[in-house]
Amino acid sequence: MAWDFETEPEFAEKLDWVDTFVREEVEPLDLVWPGLAFTPLDENRRKVVDPLKEEVRRHDLWATHLGSELGGQGYGQLKLALLNEILGRSSWAPIVFGCQAPDTGNAEIIAHYGTDEQKQRYLRPLLDGEVFSCYSMTEPHAGADPTMFTTRAVRDGDEWVIDGWKFFSSNARTASFLIVMAVTDPEVSAYQGMSMFLVPTDTPGIEIVRNVGLGSEPPGHGDHALIHYEDVRVPADALLGGEGQAFAIAQTRLGGGRIHHAMRTIGMAQRALDMMCERALSRETQGSLLADKQFVQGYIADSYAQLVQFRLFVLYTAWEIDKYNDYKRVRKDIATAKVVMPTVLHDIAWRAMQVHGALGVSNEMPFSGMLLAAGVMGLADGPTEVHKVTVARQVLRGYRPSEDLWPSRHIPKLRAAAREKLAEYLEHEVGNL
């Protein structure tokens, strides 16, 4: 019997260590330095954060996202999923463990498609946790449909010249380089006519017009850049992978990352459920605890049911990736996890907020941030609707149209066939079968 829902003891021990370490050493950083996780370390923060990173390295848990074929430790997605479930509780934790998005996906594609020189120049410092990177793909007029992108890269002698606009390029302001997707051949389909470039952020012609914030972040404090690329010249060897390969590269980028994202979301949703339960057991109104009110019990039961279903599904998907080692084969389930993720977090955070009353909607509890995070999850890496299309298409591949006017499970048709099959036993029967 091969099904097994237990974590192997050695890795379970590692996870126990991570759980304590994140709670005691990393979560305090979220409270004293909120919003600074993606800012290069100053002297002061370095004194605290570098020893923590060192500790993570000593436990062989630094930058675990690369597979062994790409030079990583090769933990596999199931173990990484379990690890990310814990890291999801803290916004600093992925930084301390060297596995923060979008750097993980960026590292993955450079490891996969980069030349030795590109790996030395960009991947090494990224994996050392010394620099940040940015993935610059979405444009102001087009996000969900990359075939509409217009940013151009034109070959001029030994150089490529990039012109255009990009929007929501996260962390561009602290990144040391950008991965830019641009049209290199407008004559062919977008799937063959776009390429990726590795572009140092200080290249002349790159202007961060403004940094867009999320939710109620004050103007100018956001992390998501509107960028104007004007006559940005990079050498021919700035091309990542082959010319026209941008779509294939973009696909590679999102495989394991989505599962890690889903597990970090589970960590966050679990935290919301924990808070909901604690509050239900602590607060009394109209003669009894909230925990004794059926509506609140419904919130708790529905939340637990949603969370446990989603968690098992994500772990199953991670297990599938490890088993088949083929993201394409598991695409339907990866997309399904992406589709379900925002709803699970939204619903649980919303109920937890409600159970906390006024305190729940205040800035003294984290629920509004969780709700915003749920909204972000329905957009970043593509909107839910687009992933639903992928899921539906993949599901439909397993089906054929009915061969005649009636559905194949149409009862009169099935009954006629059954009667024919069993005719010899039915001939003496009377009645209205």
Name the site residues for ligand FAD (rule: CB under 6 A): 102, 135-138, 143-144, 168-170, 214, 224, 376, 379-383, 385-386, 389
Q: What's the min distance (Å) between Cβ of 344 and ligand FAD? A: 18
What CA–CA distance (Å, rounded) separates 180 from 250?
A: 11
Nearer to ligand FAD, 211 or 303 (CB): 211
SS3 content of the chain, % helix, strand, coil (to 5): 55, 15, 30
Contacts of 50 (CB under 8 A, 6+ apart): 41
Contacts of 362 (CB under 8 A, 6+ apart): none
In the DSSP assignment, the letter for residue 139 is: B
Q: What's the min distance (Å) between Cβ of 29 and ligand FAD? A: 21
Nearer to ligand FAD, 193 or 222 (CB): 222
Please say whether the beta carbons of 22 and 31 come within 8 A: no
What CA–CA distance (Å, rounded) separates 207 from 133?
A: 16
Q: What's the min distance (Å) between Cβ of 82 and ligand FAD? A: 25
Q: What's the min distance (Å) between Cβ of 33 and ligand FAD? A: 20
> Which alpha helices (H) appear in 59-183, and where do they start and end?
77-87, 93-96, 103-113, 116-118, 124-127
Residue nearest to ligand FAD (CB): 143
What CA–CA distance (Å, rounded) separates 303 from 268?
A: 13
Nearer to ligand FAD, 217 or 322 (CB): 217
Nearer to ligand FAD, 111 or 380 (CB): 380
Q: What's the min distance (Å) between Cβ of 199 and ligand FAD? A: 14
> Can you say whether residue 76 is alpha, beta or left, with left for phi > 0 and alpha for psi between -120 and 50 degrees?
left
Nearer to ligand FAD, 7 or 390 (CB): 390
Q: What's the min distance (Å) between Cβ of 18 and ligand FAD? A: 25
Nearer to ligand FAD, 144 or 154 (CB): 144
